[in-house]
Structure 1
Amino acid sequence: MAAYFGPHKKSHSGRWKLCSDYLNVIKSEIRRSVRVTDLAQRVAKLWQWAGHIARRKDGYWYPKVLEAQR
């Protein structure tokens, strides 16, 4: 990771920009290390799993529940 602070960075607006960029890098690295996933991606994956489970024909309770709700 590159260091964004140093004596050659003099402008106030430039410092804020660099600080903002640095914080965004830190946030993305934290998300990656903690393995935080996008909520929309997680919901889509769960719907895909639910559709897979609903199509099973092995006598379990989930197809019966889905039919009862219709």
Structure 2
Amino acid sequence: MPDLISLDEAAERLKLSRRTIDRYVKRGEFCALYAFPTGQLRVDAHDLDDWLRAFRKTPARSESHHDHKA
């Protein structure tokens, strides 16, 4: 069963404004939404987590000071 949350809750979890979330939705860059007959939109919290993970980057490996020749 999906764990549905509102777009306001999604924005709060992501530390983004609701306006930013609305822009992502309008451009089709946000995760899948559930649209209810009442007009309310919801997102599955698990989908939101997956969407966020897609932006995860690992830091570039920097050379350690042991790799440099004196």
The two structures have a TM-score, normalised by structure 2, of: 0.26
Could you say which structure has the higher helix fraction? 1
* Structure showing the higher strand proportion among its residues: 2
**Rg larger in structure:** 1
Higher relative contact order (CA 8 A, sep 6+): 2
